[in-house]
Structure 1
Amino acid sequence: MTIPLFDNDVLRTFVAISECGTFTGAAKSVHRTPSALSMQIKQLERILGKKLFIREPRQVRLTSDGEALLDYSRRLLRLNEEAVRYFLSPSLEGKIGIGTSDDVGTRILPKVLAEFSRAYPAVTINVVVGSSKDNLARLDAGELDLALVTVAEDVRNIRGEVVHEEPLVWAGWENSSAFSRIPLPVAVAHEGCAWRRIALRALEEAGKSYRIAYTCEHCSGQEAAMAADLAIAPFPKSIVRAPLKEITGWDLPTIGMYQLALARRGANELNDILAHHVKKAFRELQ
């Protein structure tokens, strides 16, 4: 029996519906009618013999089979785009620098850089890991072309375009007891860090007694403090994995959201292309 092949157009529709949560919203993004999208999905479900969406009055949710197909769809579409770009994109040469902190940015960048390098092998990429404050200074000095910087959700004048948002939570080591001590020992970065500002403000507003037990600009340093049971720390929820754990209760206040923004120095073809890859990678995290 001949195995049917996926149609990229149908996969784009499927991904759009998955990301929007409604046929109406997805229809606007792919410039088609909701009924046309519905027909595509019904045909796809017939081909696979699987139900991909749970249809509710105001939204749709992925089934377990739909979740599996979403991962395949994104990879297939990405590979198709890379293949087309390899043959059709103009040959680019040059150097580009991007700065990031060592949290979510460093989990995203390896994938981004691998895709970018395959498509543009003649471009040299320089990656600088440092604080948002330092990387913005490097950007302004012309040492970097792009920078992923951390900002608090209440900051009005954000440098760049917000590409990611998620909650900060209290994290500690497995079997840690630091969270039960009075005053609460916390590990944070130095002054100017958005995580530090948000976390300490939450503690102060809640009237929670605390002391800064450890300071370090890097997540690895804060993890070391937690491993030694010296402190707990504010961390993005997505990077709290064993042997770390999220700490709840013990009168710990909700910290709040933080954002990553992509700041750029001028506009040129190289900057535009790398920025596109970065933004796409963060979209696929959602």
Structure 2
Amino acid sequence: MLALPPGIDPDLLRSFVLVAEGGSVTRAAQHVGRTQSAVSMQMRRLEDMLGQPLLTRGARGLVPTSHGTWLLDRARRLLEMHDEIIAGFRTPELAGHVRLGSPDDYALVWLPEILAPFAQSHPAVEIEVVCLPSTDLLRCFHAGELDLTLFSAGMDGAGLGAERLWRGPLRWVSAAALPVHLRRPLPVALCRTGCAWSRAAVQALDGSALPWRVAYSSASQTGAHAIALAGLAVTLGLAGSLPSGLRVVGPEDGLPSLPDFEIALHVRHDVPLAVQLGRHISAGFRAELETIGAAA
């Protein structure tokens, strides 16, 4: 059992996790249905209870201190156990239909290991998976056509109100066995122009002195990865989710730097099945990414 001081309120930990993950008291307050001042008071109460500062203001908002980072990992695990206990006694057997959106490359790399255990423990739940580019997934979610969706969030505000599952730099990727990144003009495989990754790539390339051309265009990132695997062009990806046969290339190989992106999750909180599945996906992503981090 996790060792925490007696009397600690799970609601304090829940608010702390939301602030630490989102960097904002305001967004955490919106998520838990409290006022900003109430959440700020919760943070002060938690710090007073534990006797250590847990949050500090950084360039991108509030970030955990060293003590806050230690607490964050344990608070997540405790809340998962807490929610599992409550759900086990209060929630009837899950059944019904839930609509999940995901970019195709996430669906291929991340979802099998995450969804299989959920399907085994909740056999009466039918999960409809819709694979589209992130911009289309967000449009469908906000139109009520999806109950929850994974998506790629950049610096354009698309991730506001969503749960951040992972954050890191977007990468150039190329065939592992071929020096495609040395060709000039550089052949690039992009998704359609509305894709946030494609916009970031074009902006980075246009801001460099590198000659380049769009050699291939695909409706999906999986299609662009197929082109890269064939050695026909470089494309884009996240280092933790690359298919076998691709490798990361970057500034050390003469390519321009790319901005950070997030894997984020929007959940419709008035759909109980979406909430339950969202919690499972969130926990599954953390487990997968911790494994990747340990192996790196």
Fold conserved (TM > 0.5)?
yes
Measure, in 1, the Cα distance between the counterparts of 2:3 and 2:122.
25
1:65-106 deviations in Å (ceiling 9; x for gaps): xxxxx9xxx7xx979976885565322322110100022354
- Give, in angstroms, the shift of residue 241 of structure 1: 5.6
> TM-score scaled by structure 2?
0.65
Counterpart for residue 89 of structure 1: 91
Cα distance change, pair 103–212 in 1 and its aligned pair in 2 (3 A):
same
Cα distance change, pair 111–83 in 1 and its aligned pair in 2 (3 A):
farther
Counterpart for residue 244 of structure 1: 246
1:130-149 equivalences under 5 Å are: 130-149=132-151
CA contact (8 A) 1:86 1:119 kept: no
Deviates more, 1:109-118 or 1:178-187: 109-118
Measure, in 2, the Cα distance between the counterparts of 1:157 and 1:250.
31
Letter aligned with residue 263 of structure 1? H
Measure, in 2, the Cα distance between the counterparts of 1:31 and 1:59.
16
Letter aligned with residue 279 of structure 1? S
Counterpart for residue 177 of structure 2: 175
Counterpart for residue 283 of structure 1: 286
Partner of 2:240, secondary structure, is helix
Partner of 2:110, secondary structure, is helix
Residue 256 of structure 1, aligned match among 247, 254, 259: 259
Counterpart for residue 159 of structure 2: 158
- Give, in angstroms, the shift of residue 114 of structure 1: 2.9
- Give, in angstroms, the shift of residue 268 of structure 1: 2.9
Measure, in 1, the Cα distance between the counterparts of 2:258 and 2:108.
23
Q: How many percent identity over aligned positions? A: 30
Measure, in 1, the Cα distance between the counterparts of 2:126 and 2:262.
28
User: Is 1:122 paired with 2:124?
Assistant: yes
User: Is 1:186 paired with 2:199?
Assistant: no
Q: Which runs of 5+ in 2 are unaligned?
A: 5-12, 21-44, 53-64, 68-72, 291-296
CA contact (8 A) 1:194 1:258 kept: no
Measure, in 1, the Cα distance between the counterparts of 2:234 and 2:208.
17
CA contact (8 A) 1:147 1:264 kept: yes
> TM-score scaled by structure 1?
0.67
Letter aligned with residue 195 of structure 1? W
Measure, in 1, the Cα distance between the counterparts of 2:254 and 2:180.
13
1:110-141 deviations in Å (ceiling 9; x for gaps): 33323433443322211111212332333344
Q: Which runs of 5+ in 1 are unaligned?
A: 1-6, 11-15, 21-27, 36-57, 61-69
CA contact (8 A) 2:268 2:275 kept: no
Partner of 2:101, secondary structure, is strand
CA contact (8 A) 2:99 2:128 kept: yes
